[in-house]
Amino acid sequence: MKTRITEMLNIEHPIIQGGMHYVGFAELAAAVSNAGGLGTITGLTQKTAPDLANEIARCNDMTDKPFAVNLTFLPSVAAPDYPSYVKAIIDGGVKIVETAGRNPVQVLPYLKDAGITVIHKCTSVRHSLKAQEIGCDAVSVDGFECGGHPGEDDIPNMILLPRAADELEIPFVASGGMADGRSLVAALAMGAEGMNMGTRFMVTQEAPIHERVKQAILAATELDTRLVMRSLRNTERVLTNTAVERLLAKEKELGDNIEFEDIMEEVAGVYPKVMLDGDMDSGAWSCGMVAGLINDIPSCRELIDRIMVEADGLIGQRLGGMRAA
Ligand SMILES: Cc1cc2nc3c(=O)[nH]c(=O)nc-3n(C[C@H](O)[C@H](O)[C@H](O)COP(=O)(O)O)c2cc1C
């Protein structure tokens, strides 16, 4: 399939794997890129810039195809050393960066000077327009359904994507709730040039996470995610578990008086415990509503090939067959 995104990123299929903390290691990024999509290493999962340089080198050893690095700008206890991460990305020869969270204006000149294509992931039309204005090349529009941080507007993709299409000139991909060929065709119909998936790529053979995480997503339905940290304006969609229910009880009890320290136990340092050790109730971890559409553990190539075959059939047969003669 040829879209503005496949052309811009030099990839075969318009499918991107979004950055995921303690999931987006070189193994997954390379598997997605080798299957014709765009894989992404999660920059801040690497504790230091030299660690990121090493992860980029590992990915370069595993694929000749383009891959991206995600740089996330979220409120954090200790701010990461972004300039040195940017240097590791540039020195590693990475050609695509997915930025997310706050506006990436502080790093953009360095990335653009190095000839890097920047896709900014954001959750609203106004932030998408801002990304376009400051010079990002594309946007990943993350709807309310998404795993991770859906923002505070709560606009689902059925509205957000056509709104983005009406306003944006740069190309965008649909993110949040995407799982299969139906998602891709719907996203294209609403004006996107491709799709970005997080949760679906966690449940693949190559995702280097604990088997219990994959089984938990397989067992989950679309009813099993919760929104946490809304009271801190840092909303995150997570899979429910005992720690999440405890966190929500604290949020209810403390209301506007809540502070980050009150919920440290449920949110700090959780990702390595869940993703690497399979300690499933150790805290809150991101997961999309799309869990309800995930029923198997294919390889990335099987998943992407299946999506493209399904999309092709939908466009050519189902939709094509509906046209009045
Ligand atoms: C476990 C997990 C961790 C994530 N970590 C990050 C992250 O560190 N940075 C980021 O920009 N997005 C992160 N995301 C969001 C994804 O990149 C993507 O935007 C989102 O998962 C799309 O929604 P979906 O899960 O419905 O496909 C994460 C998502 C998940 C499920």
When pLDDT is averaged across residues 81-104 and rounded to a whole number, the result is: 97
Atom in ligand 1 nearest the alpha carbon of residue 178: 27
Residue type, 282: S
- In the reported structure, the alpha carbon of residue 317 is separated from the centroid of ligand 1 by a whole-number distance in angstroms of 32
The protein residue whose alpha carbon is closest to atom 10 in ligand 1 is: 19
Q: Look at residue 324 and give its three-state secondary structure.
A: coil
Angle, alpha carbons 187-104-67 (nearest 5°): 60
- In the reported structure, the alpha carbon of residue 20 is separated from the centroid of ligand 1 by a whole-number distance in angstroms of 5
When pLDDT is averaged across residues 1-20 and rounded to a whole number, the result is: 98
- In the reported structure, the alpha carbon of residue 147 is separated from the centroid of ligand 1 by a whole-number distance in angstroms of 5
Please give the pLDDT value at position 41: 98
Q: What is the strand order of the sheet 195-197 is part of?
A: 15-17, 195-197, 172-175, 138-142, 117-122, 96-101, 67-73, 39-42
- For 150-183, how does the pLDDT look when each residue is reduced to its tens digit (9 = 90+)? 999 999 999 999 999 999 999 999 999 999 999 9
Place 324 in a pLDDT band, splitting at 50, 70 and 90: confident
When pLDDT is averaged across residues 95-105 and rounded to a whole number, the result is: 96
Asked whether the beta carbons of 53 and 88 are under 8 A apart, the reply is: yes
The protein residue whose alpha carbon is closest to atom 4 in ligand 1 is: 20
Does the pLDDT at position 77 exceed 90? no
- In the reported structure, the alpha carbon of residue 18 is separated from the centroid of ligand 1 by a whole-number distance in angstroms of 6
When pLDDT is averaged across residues 77-95 and rounded to a whole number, the result is: 94
Atom in ligand 1 nearest the alpha carbon of residue 100: 11
Give the C-alpha separation, 134 to 69, whole Å. 20
- In the reported structure, the alpha carbon of residue 197 is separated from the centroid of ligand 1 by a whole-number distance in angstroms of 8
Which residues does residue 96 pair with via DSSP β-bridges, in sequence order? 68, 117
Please give the pLDDT value at position 78: 80
Please give the pLDDT value at position 181: 98
Atom in ligand 1 nearest the alpha carbon of residue 201: 27
Does the pLDDT at position 42 exceed 90? yes
Is pTM beyond 0.95 here?
Answer: yes
Tell which CATH architecture fits domain 4-205+296-319: Alpha-Beta Barrel (3.20)
Does the pLDDT at position 277 exceed 90? yes
Angle, alpha carbons 38-70-209 (nearest 5°): 75
Please give the pLDDT value at position 177: 98
Give the C-alpha separation, 181 to 2, whole Å. 15
- In the reported structure, the alpha carbon of residue 177 is separated from the centroid of ligand 1 by a whole-number distance in angstroms of 11
Asked whether the beta carbons of 240 and 216 are under 8 A apart, the reply is: no
Does the pLDDT at position 9 exceed 80? yes
Does the pLDDT at position 325 exceed 80? no
Which of the listed residues 123, 173, 286, 294 should we mutate to test ligand 1's pocket, taking the one with most ligand atoms within 8 A of CB? 286
**Which stretch of DSSP H or E encloses residue 225?**
strand 225-228
Half-sphere exposure at residue 80, Cβ-oriented, CA atoms within 13 angstroms: 19
Atom in ligand 1 nearest the alpha carbon of residue 179: 27
- For 136-149, how does the pLDDT look when each residue is reduced to its tens digit (9 = 90+)? 999 999 999 999 99
Asked whether the beta carbons of 15 and 23 are under 8 A apart, the reply is: no
Q: Which residues line ligand 1 (CB under 6 A)?
A: 18-21, 23, 42, 70, 72, 100, 121, 142, 145-148, 175-178, 196-200, 285-288, 290
Give the C-alpha separation, 66 to 68, whole Å. 7
Residue ranges per domain, the chain? 4-205+296-319, 211-289
- In the reported structure, the alpha carbon of residue 63 is separated from the centroid of ligand 1 by a whole-number distance in angstroms of 22
Which of the listed residues 15, 17, 21 should we mutate to test ligand 1's pocket, taking the one with most ligand atoms within 8 A of CB? 21
**DSSP per-residue letters across 248-283:** HHHHHHHGGG--HHHHHHHHTTHHIIIIIT--TTSS
Place of tokens 């505070």: 152
* Structural tokens at position 229: 């940290």
- In the reported structure, the alpha carbon of residue 271 is separated from the centroid of ligand 1 by a whole-number distance in angstroms of 12
The protein residue whose alpha carbon is closest to atom 3 in ligand 1 is: 20
> Lowest-confidence range among 51-55, 79-83, 202-206?
79-83
Place 79 in a pLDDT band, splitting at 50, 70 and 90: confident
Which of the listed residues 146, 241, 307 should we mutate to test ligand 1's pocket, taking the one with most ligand atoms within 8 A of CB? 146
Share of the chain above pLDDT 70, in %: 99
CA–centroid distance for 231 within its chain: 23
- In the reported structure, the alpha carbon of residue 321 is separated from the centroid of ligand 1 by a whole-number distance in angstroms of 36
- For 216-273, how does the pLDDT look when each residue is reduced to its tens digit (9 = 90+)? 999 999 999 999 999 999 999 999 999 999 999 999 999 999 999 999 999 999 999 9
- In the reported structure, the alpha carbon of residue 288 is separated from the centroid of ligand 1 by a whole-number distance in angstroms of 8
Residue 252 neighbours by CB under 8 Å, 6+ apart: none
Give the C-alpha separation, 43 to 104, whole Å. 14
